[in-house]
Structure 1
Amino acid sequence: MTDREAAPAHEGEGGRISTRKAAELLGVKPETVYAYVSRGRLGSRSNPGGRGSTFDLKEVEALARRNRREPAMSSPTAGTLSVRTRITLIDKDRYYFRGVDATELAARHSYEEVAEWLWTGVLRPGATFTAPEASVSVARRAVDSLPEHTSPTDRLRVAAIAAAAADPLRFDLSEQSVLGTARTLIPTLVAALPPKRHDQRDDGPLAHRLWARLSGREASEASLRALDTALALLVDHDLAASTLAVRVAASARAHPYAAVSAGLGVLEGPLHGAASGLAHRMLLDVLDRGTAAPVIADELRAGRRVPGLGHRLYAGEDPRARALFALLEDIPEAAPALAAAHDVVATTARHVTLHANIDLALAVLTASSGMPASAGETIFAVARTAGWIAHTLEEYGEAPLRMRPSGHYVGERPPQPLPEQ
């Protein structure tokens, strides 16, 4: 019997029960009970002598009733999927990470610090992520073997798979192990990308390392701050399509590398991760032609939406765009692209009010920094990896395989005759 399973000698006294009994009442594994504790859903008290923990019986029974009364996954309205989460709230043109205004967090803390807050609910000032050399080496070899025209998302996915193959502990789904994986996977993904500068370093803030993979230019402090803030702003955004894919993988108890790979696969869809690249190309076209009017006309004539405008979750301006635009205004090199973006918004506002979203702000950053059009997708993918890990951890604390909706069959009713050859 392990320490976690050991029943306290005074079980039942004072209404306290062992981990094993709590797990039985909740219908989960003992590891999940501790996951509830780490996420603030359940309180615990260490046993005298340090062997295991005890739990308040009434609190456990109340949690069990809530779990039964509030299905973890439900469809309150037709076509709507709802999943309980304590990570991100989007409300009235603002969004919050664990109850704290996300734009304020991003303005005051680094990407790594915001990621730690998202994972643990604890800020770690000065947090930095470092990848083991062995992990970086195998990821780089795998990425270097790809064709030159390979997309950045494909490179990141291959790097994640290679890093997983080099990690014999990848199937350890305990919280501490998953956090350890997260803190090494993200810098491994960045280090595996081909450098644009020969003097790049693989230490220091992640934004500094990523810049050297996206631009051949020397970065100013203001530019590095804008990139770091962009990463922090993009770390999570509720249940986007890629995040839902991650949770489905985690529900099947796929290891963290596989869950992240699932997210990267969905991110590469043209309706998700490619939006900033389209906005980047549009801004370059506006700069080349001197005005937004003909560029917008061409987009609409081709039957396309104007990229970088509007967001289904915000009636007003995307708060992420507002925060990033404010930083870009302090970068002289960004002034032309910023003016082009404002021209796009003003031109479309003549007929319909559409506010700038994060894709347009990200396009201003990439277009003014000597980065390729695909850079926005790379920034998005690296940033969102931290959010995917947070959702993976949260999903590991739920019942396994719960993301199993029933199909609504609309085909021929059986029995049908065997098809003729």
Structure 2
Amino acid sequence: MTDDTAGAARRGRLSTRETAERLGVKPETVYAYVSRGLLTSRRTPGGRGSTFDPEEVDALVRHGRRGQDPPGADPEATGGAPAVTTGITLIDRDGYYYRGVDPTALARRHGFEEVAEWLWTGTMTPGIRFTAPAEALSAARRAVEALPSHSGPMDRLRVAAVAAAAADPLRFDLSEDTVLATARGLIATLVTSLPPAGPEPADGAGLARRLWSRLSPAPADDASVRALDGALVLLIDHDLAASTLAARVAASARAHPYAVVSSGLGALDGPLHGAAGGLAHRMLTEVLARGSAAAVVADHLRGGRRVPGLGHRLYPGEDPRAQALFGLLEAVPEAAPALEAAREVAATTARHVPLHANVDLALAVLSVSAGMPAEAGETVFSVARTAGWIAHALEEYAERPLRMRPRGQYRGPRPPQPLP
């Protein structure tokens, strides 16, 4: 025992080493907690180190066990953000799982509405259909129709979510049954408020078939709708992506489900998240027009640009969502040229950089082959991810309010400063 440790023990306080051991962190991390205001240190007169109040240290340990701020986490790695305990999605090196179940298997056997309902409630309800409440749908359609003619489907989704919220006087009821009813109605409203692009489906059609009619002018054959339905299932959640974190922050402040979804849609609007699908769509269109993946890939590399639709930082190999969606698209004859072009892009790029296809490239195959607009992939992503945002909101509503509150590291001038 060092002199500092012995002295701390005599005074009923903990040395830095003892504090680190009790928290299960490195000594450097203890000082990081001090800088963040999570611990208070005291210098011993004539001593060589800091000492800590054991009650304060134990409180921080308990705080971490509740999943609110991990004592063992590296603040540099977490950005000082609180830990988020979730039971929705697990991602590992080779795949991902919804509540322990492989989503690629779910996509082969169940539709989007069934999987969303199961993810929310734990019960698989075969044949369930989400329907839009009349008042919410009317308000959303009027708002969407008021947009400029050049507005894209993502602009329409964002406006529809806000209009549907304004039409729902019960939106502030955060009881589980009401949130679930809101979620079913909101997802149906988002899809049905989009203007038709092709033949309208029959009454009672599944959500994927309704979405197809809003995105593609082509008639909806069964294989194509199965591919779109599978894409929706595969994209419901992917752990704490930027948009999901934004949704959970809103839920932590007890925002209603419409506002939670609007928060997610706002974060998704960035070019580094949801908009990647549009870039892959345009690239694949160019490959088909020029008849050469090599020429298009070369243009991207020569211009110092990344080739869209390739690589994912969470998967060293191919994105499992892309693999599953490619498999579904193989049953769609019209998708064959785009599917071949996508695989040629991946093979050509892999000669120079070890990258694999991600789900954005697979979505581009779907959108290009069906004559959908460039924003279609982002639209599919948004509709699917709405179900995931609701699942995370349900988890967050059960947590302590306003727990998603990291501390800022102030780097400005120290007060007092003269008035400007």
Answering whether residue 131 of structure 2 is matched by residue 133 of structure 1, we say: no
Which residue in 1 is equivalent to 2:13?
none
Which residue in 1 is equivalent to 2:262?
261
What SS class does the counterpart of residue 79 from structure 1 fall into? helix
Question: Of the candidates 61, 67, 72, which is equivalent to residue 71 of structure 1?
Answer: 67
The AA in structure 1 aligned to 2:224 is S
The AA in structure 1 aligned to 2:298 is A
Question: Matched residues in 2 for 1:331 and 1:265: separation?
Answer: 33
What SS class does the counterpart of residue 89 from structure 1 fall into? strand
The AA in structure 1 aligned to 2:419 is L
What are the residue-to-residue correspondences of 1:230-309 with 2, within 5 Å? 230-309=231-310
The AA in structure 2 aligned to 1:313 is L
Question: Matched residues in 2 for 1:407 and 1:153: separation?
Answer: 32
Question: Matched residues in 2 for 1:358 and 1:198: separation?
Answer: 27
Aligned-residue offset at 1:202? 5.6
Q: Deviations over 1:263-289 (max 9, x none)?
A: 001111111111111001101111111
Which residue in 1 is equivalent to 2:391?
390
Q: Deviations over 1:336-366 (max 9, x none)?
A: 1011101111111111210100000000000
Query: Is contact 1:73–1:402 with CA below 8 Å preserved after alignment?
Result: no
Question: Matched residues in 2 for 1:213 and 1:402: separation?
Answer: 39
TM-score when normalising by structure 1: 0.82
What SS class does the counterpart of residue 311 from structure 1 fall into? coil
What SS class does the counterpart of residue 373 from structure 1 fall into? coil
Which residue in 2 is equivalent to 1:178?
179
What SS class does the counterpart of residue 186 from structure 2 fall into? helix
The AA in structure 1 aligned to 2:287 is V
Which residue in 2 is equivalent to 1:114?
115
The AA in structure 2 aligned to 1:217 is A
Question: Matched residues in 2 for 1:254 and 1:383: separation?
Answer: 20
Aligned-residue offset at 1:73? 4.2
Question: Matched residues in 2 for 1:415 and 1:112: separation?
Answer: 58
Question: Matched residues in 1 for 2:248 and 2:171: separation?
Answer: 17
Which residue in 1 is equivalent to 2:359?
358
Query: Is contact 1:267–1:273 with CA below 8 Å preserved after alignment?
Result: yes
What are the residue-to-residue correspondences of 1:11-410 with 2, within 5 Å? 69-74=65-70, 76-77=73-74, 78-80=76-78, 81=81, 82-201=83-202, 203-410=204-411
Question: Matched residues in 1 for 2:196 and 2:70: separation?
Answer: 45
Question: Matched residues in 2 for 1:343 and 1:382: separation?
Answer: 29
What SS class does the counterpart of residue 163 from structure 2 fall into? helix
Q: Deviations over 1:16-50 (max 9, x none)?
A: xxxxxxxxxxxxxxxxxxxxxxxxxxxxxxxxxxx
Question: Matched residues in 1 for 2:87 and 2:168: separation?
Answer: 29
Aligned-residue offset at 1:152? 1.8
Question: Matched residues in 1 for 2:179 and 2:170: separation?
Answer: 10
- Number of residue pairs matched by the alignment: 355
Deviation larger for 131-140 or 263-272: 131-140
Query: Is contact 2:111–2:229 with CA below 8 Å preserved after alignment?
Result: yes
Aligned-residue offset at 1:120? 1.2
The AA in structure 2 aligned to 1:343 is E
Q: Deviations over 1:306-360 (max 9, x none)?
A: 1100101111111100000011111111111011101111111111210100000
Query: Is contact 1:98–1:121 with CA below 8 Å preserved after alignment?
Result: no
Q: Deviations over 1:233-262 (max 9, x none)?
A: 001110000000000000000000000000
Q: Deviations over 1:211-238 (max 9, x none)?
A: 0000111121100000000000001110
Question: Matched residues in 2 for 1:274 and 1:230: separation?
Answer: 16
Aligned-residue offset at 1:115? 0.3
Question: Matched residues in 1 for 2:331 and 2:191: separation?
Answer: 26
The AA in structure 1 aligned to 2:148 is P
Aligned-residue offset at 1:201? 4.5
Question: Matched residues in 1 for 2:96 and 2:67: separation?
Answer: 24
Question: Matched residues in 2 for 1:226 and 1:71: separation?
Answer: 38
* Root mean square deviation, CA, Å: 1.5
Question: Matched residues in 1 for 2:268 and 2:206: separation?
Answer: 24
Question: Matched residues in 2 for 1:347 and 1:112: separation?
Answer: 37
Which residue in 1 is equivalent to 2:413?
412
Deviation larger for 163-172 or 196-205: 196-205
Question: Matched residues in 1 for 2:253 and 2:206: separation?
Answer: 34
Aligned-residue offset at 1:198? 4.9
The AA in structure 2 aligned to 1:113 is E
Aligned-residue offset at 1:182? 0.6
What SS class does the counterpart of residue 204 from structure 2 fall into? coil
Aligned-residue offset at 1:67? 6.6
Unaligned 5+ segments in structure 2 are: 1-60
Question: Matched residues in 2 for 1:342 and 1:198: separation?
Answer: 31
Query: Is contact 2:200–2:210 with CA below 8 Å preserved after alignment?
Result: no
The AA in structure 1 aligned to 2:188 is P
The AA in structure 1 aligned to 2:168 is D
Q: Deviations over 1:45-78 (max 9, x none)?
A: xxxxxxxxxxxxxxxxxxxx97762433448121
Unaligned 5+ segments in structure 1 are: 1-64
What SS class does the counterpart of residue 96 from structure 2 fall into? strand
What SS class does the counterpart of residue 83 from structure 1 fall into? coil
Identical positions, percent: 70
